[in-house]
Structure 1
Amino acid sequence: MYRPGAGRTPVQEGERVFTIGSPLSLDKIITTGIVSKVEPHTIMSDVNINPGNSGGPLFNAAGQVIGLTTFGTRGEGGPGVSGIVRIEEALALLDQNRANAKGTPPPGALLPVEPLTPYPIEGLKEALRAEKYDSRPYYFAAGDFNIALSTPPLDYREQEEKRLQAEREHKKRNKKQQTAGENAGDSDAPKDWEQEAGAHPAIFAIYVMPKAKEGLGSAFGRSFSLNSAAKLKFKTDFQAMKLFCGNKEVLPIHPGKVPVTVSIQNRLVKMDDSTYKGIYVYSPDSVNPDCGQVKLEIYSSKGAEPTVRAFDEKTVQHVWADFGAFRRAQAAGTQSASAAKP
């Protein structure tokens, strides 16, 4: 890494630089460019900062880290200009982190991470080929919340069904006997390159959304007027949740909650309210038959006592089966790697 010295600059204008990143979940790519301007705190270059490259290291010709890629502007007639924060701006923070590293080491337990290998395309094709796909085990309620489970086959199947329904409606409106269904099947079916680009990550997700209810005043008012609209409000706000495999808590890869605003006004319903919904992402083996029991604890803004919901056996079986194609692909990759070793 570059260290500032007397009269030295990390790079000269016109010098070639390069950066390493992982856009679209690819393992690693290298992009190069030419330095156009060196400012006291930043470096300007035409190096291409793709999504996923931002925050990555920028190297000079000597292989020294001279900056951190920060932003890129697209030009109409060219690649645009990229801005890089000079490494000198981060040296104080790096020194502080080195000092902190000398203290008590972190726990040895590893946190879960998203698999580097995306969900195999063949698994999505299997889901599309199935004549019947029961989605009911993925949706259920618990107390003041509605719960939705997400797996790659389920998501793709539902997206495909919506697309096919839209195509059917389009054909009805236009009354044309075209090959719209054929073209759509060819263009929107899962492609092999989508797997390389990480288009379908092998993750299991849980969505928790608070229910809405009609207030007492609204219900009382409607009892005197049949034409009055029901005024709805969310029952509570999502705070957090915990997933358990047996008695062991399953740590999420990405726990989070996002704000949601609903604004509806018609002759039947009026609703203008905001809340938080939960979106937790887990590893593909989080829910499996060996758990014995899988349950979810949901915490709201009302109090400390959680709402507990156990998964049905059918739900566990469906989620586990959905990742069968991923497990087979992982096993095949492990066997290939072992066979390649001398």
Structure 2
Amino acid sequence: MKRIAPAGLLLVLAAVVAPGQVETVKVKIRAILVDRDLNQKPVPFLVVSLKREEGGAATEVKTGLDGTAQAQLPAGQYELSTPKPAELGGKRFSWSLKVAVAGTETQIDLTNDNAKAEEDGGGALRSAAAGDLNELFEKLKNSVVLVHAEAGDGSGFVVDPAGLVVTNNHVVESSNYVAVQFDKKRKVRAQVLATNAEKDVAVLWVNLAAFPEAVTAPILPPGAAANLAVGGRVFTIGNPFGREKVLTTGVISKVDKNAITSDININPGNSGGPLFTGNGQVAGITTAGLRLLASIVPIDYARPLIEDARKKAAVGNAPSAELLPVEPPDYFPPDALSPLLQQEKMDTRPYYFDAGEFHVIIITPPMNYFLRHAEEMAAARKAAKRAGGTGQAKPPASAIEDAQDYLAVVGVRVEPKYGALLRVRFKNGFQRMRLLCGDKELTPVEQRRTPFELHNQRGKTVDTTYAGYYSFLPDGVSPQCGSVVLQIFSEKEPDQPVTHTVGPETVARVWADLEPYRRAHSGAETKPQ
């Protein structure tokens, strides 16, 4: 294989052709550009024309999503050109080269080096320079929010000063709990006003009095989507994996009525966020997935839902601006967890109990950390004894590192029991739960209701229902509550809870487990309130 040099240097190999035969050569074309951030960006749907200098019709090929194309051509000298330019980073790139096609295979690379680059004067939709991106991020980041729901988290963006937020429908679909978080400290309840499941769009309503700094994300004017072009620079602001807001850039790979395709990286937590054009206007709604290229819902599909939501908000009562609990700002102290690796046993009985047709697991950072590494540490101790040692095993570096990533919360996991009278089936399904400290209901930090599957010995799914997981602040479950009561509402009886009083040993263990975190944030040992 030979490669065409960036400067267009011609390399010619002699070929022996039998009389009456025309030898063809496999020509492989790759179009790839490097942006300002030194990211390699394939150029999809680029039409490349190859015309033989000896005459005859030109051959045209179009690159795929990966920026590559192939053709079978007779050997010879060719003029390569691109009828339409590619756009990236505020510039238009076109190619006009002389190339030699010879041998059995010829590779042609179309890059920044051998392209003719011109500044793009495209106006409103031109790509932003790096400095402009920083400015746009600071300007628009307070329009982007984190959306919490029972199935998981996503992103959203404010589209109206009344508190309307656009997100993906799949983020909030069938969820009895929806909340919007603006920053590390402020989270409020949200109300779903309008949805379109087919287009995966939903509009929420929140009370922006809780976040006066919120700004409205400017939406692309009606009809302006027609000006979106392949190669145009785009960016998104999201909360990947529920963490700090970050900016991610990419280029448009394809535009049609139903979707905008881009190479932009959409991580879990970014789903439902805005896709901005280079000048900071929302062109679409991002969706996280496993595909190499992201498929973005055009903003035009959200317009009727936004109008419908505006009408409902105009005559409805605004959601509460009361702040909900958020995750503690710091992780559980790792130096309180890593010593557990040398502990051979832990009495885990206080963490498990039954309540009606449900199994309940109380999860604390020490309990969770110990069980996660119990098997590998037991194996390490056996290996140490076989080697003639005392059985003291050195913890793996991965286990030590893992101690740094535990949230300082108390988790309550509720799983339905199953029975096998005729066929193995779940007895019930989880709907919701309440945890009471005395007469006071504890407000959860996180609320999850997720599918829960039952498998037979062959691994086949034989039944599916729902399990629940709620988390609570580290000072919520206390011996000073007097009584701690768990109420579980099921699918069979959504209005009649199964009530279970949590045992005093469990309450005391939970309180003791979270003591290292409370002490680290108070400077002294804490006592139950």
Structure 1 distance, partners of 2:350, 2:508, is 9
Corresponding residue of 1:105:
318
Task: Please give the residue correspondences for 1:186-205 in structure 2 after superposition, counting only pairs within 5 Å.
Answer: 186-191=396-401, 195=404, 199-205=405-411
Structure 1 distance, partners of 2:345, 2:482, is 27
Q: Which of these two proteins has the greater Rg computed from alpha carbons? A: 2
How many Å apart are 1:258 and its aligned residue? 3.6
Q: Which stretch has the larger CA shift, 284-293 or 203-212?
A: 203-212
Counterpart of 2:516 in 1: which secondary structure?
helix
How many Å apart are 1:144 and its aligned residue? 4.5
Q: Is the 8 A contact 1:115 1:283 kept in 2?
A: no
- Residues 184, 66 of structure 1: CA spacing in aligned structure 2 closer, same or farther, 3 A cutoff? farther
Gaps of 5+ in 1: 75-79, 219-230, 266-271, 333-342
Q: Is the 8 A contact 1:119 1:200 kept in 2?
A: yes
- Residues 302, 255 of structure 1: CA spacing in aligned structure 2 closer, same or farther, 3 A cutoff? same
- Residues 70, 25 of structure 1: CA spacing in aligned structure 2 closer, same or farther, 3 A cutoff? closer
Structure 2 distance, partners of 1:211, 1:274, is 12
Q: Is the 8 A contact 1:260 1:274 kept in 2?
A: yes
Task: Please give the residue correspondences for 1:155-166 in structure 2 after superposition, counting only pairs within 5 Å.
Answer: 155-166=368-379
Corresponding residue of 1:243:
435
Question: What TM-score, normalized to structure 1?
Answer: 0.71
Determine if the alignment matches structure 1 residue 141 to structure 2 residue 354. Answer: yes
Q: Which amino acid aligns with 2:439?
A: N
Corresponding residue of 2:200:
none
How many Å apart are 1:166 and its aligned residue? 4.6
Structure 1 distance, partners of 2:311, 2:271, is 26
Structure 1 distance, partners of 2:375, 2:336, is 19
Task: Please give the residue correspondences for 1:34-53 in structure 2 after superposition, counting only pairs within 5 Å.
Answer: 34-53=251-270
Counterpart of 1:55 in 2: which secondary structure?
coil
Residue of structure 2 aligned with 1:288, choices 466, 473, 478: 478
Counterpart of 1:315 in 2: which secondary structure?
helix
Corresponding residue of 2:294:
82
Corresponding residue of 1:256:
449
- Residues 247, 66 of structure 1: CA spacing in aligned structure 2 closer, same or farther, 3 A cutoff? same
- Residues 135, 3 of structure 1: CA spacing in aligned structure 2 closer, same or farther, 3 A cutoff? same
Structure 1 distance, partners of 2:224, 2:491, is 58
- Residues 25, 144 of structure 1: CA spacing in aligned structure 2 closer, same or farther, 3 A cutoff? closer
RMSD over aligned CA atoms reads 3.8
Structure 1 distance, partners of 2:255, 2:447, is 38
Q: Deviations over 1:191-247 (max 9, x none)?
A: 27x85xxx53333222334556675xx9xxxxxxxxxxxx98766555543211111
Corresponding residue of 1:2:
219
Counterpart of 2:447 in 1: which secondary structure?
coil
Higher strand share: 2
How many Å apart are 1:184 and its aligned residue? 7.7
Q: Which amino acid aligns with 1:88?
A: D
Corresponding residue of 1:314:
505
Q: Is the 8 A contact 1:2 1:10 kept in 2?
A: no
Corresponding residue of 1:325:
516
Structure 2 distance, partners of 1:205, 1:158, is 15
Q: Which amino acid aligns with 1:35?
A: I
Q: Which amino acid aligns with 2:362?
A: L
Q: Is the 8 A contact 1:240 1:278 kept in 2?
A: no
Counterpart of 2:500 in 1: which secondary structure?
strand
Structure 2 distance, partners of 1:94, 1:101, is 10
Q: Which amino acid aligns with 2:401?
A: K
Counterpart of 1:30 in 2: which secondary structure?
strand
Q: Which amino acid aligns with 2:471?
A: Y
Structure 2 distance, partners of 1:40, 1:315, is 57
Between 1 and 2, higher relative CO (CA 8 Å, sep ≥ 6) is seen in 1
Structure 2 distance, partners of 1:264, 1:8, is 53
Q: Deviations over 1:62-100 (max 9, x none)?
A: 1112211124555xxxxx322211212112222222333
- Residues 240, 66 of structure 1: CA spacing in aligned structure 2 closer, same or farther, 3 A cutoff? closer
Q: Which amino acid aligns with 1:100?
A: K
- Residues 232, 9 of structure 1: CA spacing in aligned structure 2 closer, same or farther, 3 A cutoff? closer
Counterpart of 2:244 in 1: which secondary structure?
coil
Q: Which amino acid aligns with 2:287?
A: T
Structure 2 distance, partners of 1:123, 1:314, is 21
Determine if the alignment matches structure 1 residue 63 to structure 2 residue 280. Answer: yes
- Residues 287, 2 of structure 1: CA spacing in aligned structure 2 closer, same or farther, 3 A cutoff? same
Q: Which amino acid aligns with 1:89?
A: Y
- Residues 214, 96 of structure 1: CA spacing in aligned structure 2 closer, same or farther, 3 A cutoff? closer
Residue of structure 1 aligned with 2:308, choices 96, 99, 110: 96
Structure 1 distance, partners of 2:491, 2:290, is 42
Counterpart of 1:185 in 2: which secondary structure?
coil
Q: Is the 8 A contact 1:238 1:275 kept in 2?
A: no
How many Å apart are 1:178 and its aligned residue? 11
Corresponding residue of 1:29:
246
Corresponding residue of 1:125:
338
Structure 2 distance, partners of 1:151, 1:71, is 30
Q: Is the 8 A contact 2:360 2:414 kept in 1?
A: yes
How many Å apart are 1:259 and its aligned residue? 3.4
Determine if the alignment matches structure 1 residue 150 to structure 2 residue 363. Answer: yes
Q: Deviations over 1:27-64 (max 9, x none)?
A: 12221112222222322221112232222111112111
Percent identity between matched residues is 39
- Residues 108, 24 of structure 1: CA spacing in aligned structure 2 closer, same or farther, 3 A cutoff? closer
Residue of structure 2 aligned with 1:208, choices 381, 405, 414: 414
Q: Which stretch has the larger CA shift, 95-104 or 39-48?
A: 95-104
Structure 2 distance, partners of 1:51, 1:105, is 29
Gaps of 5+ in 2: 1-217, 524-529
Structure 2 distance, partners of 1:6, 1:236, is 51
Q: Deviations over 1:262-282 (max 9, x none)?
A: 5369xxxxxx97474642312
Structure 1 distance, partners of 2:464, 2:287, is 33
Q: Which amino acid aligns with 1:286?
A: G
Question: What TM-score, normalized to structure 2?
Answer: 0.48
How many Å apart are 1:257 and its aligned residue? 5.7
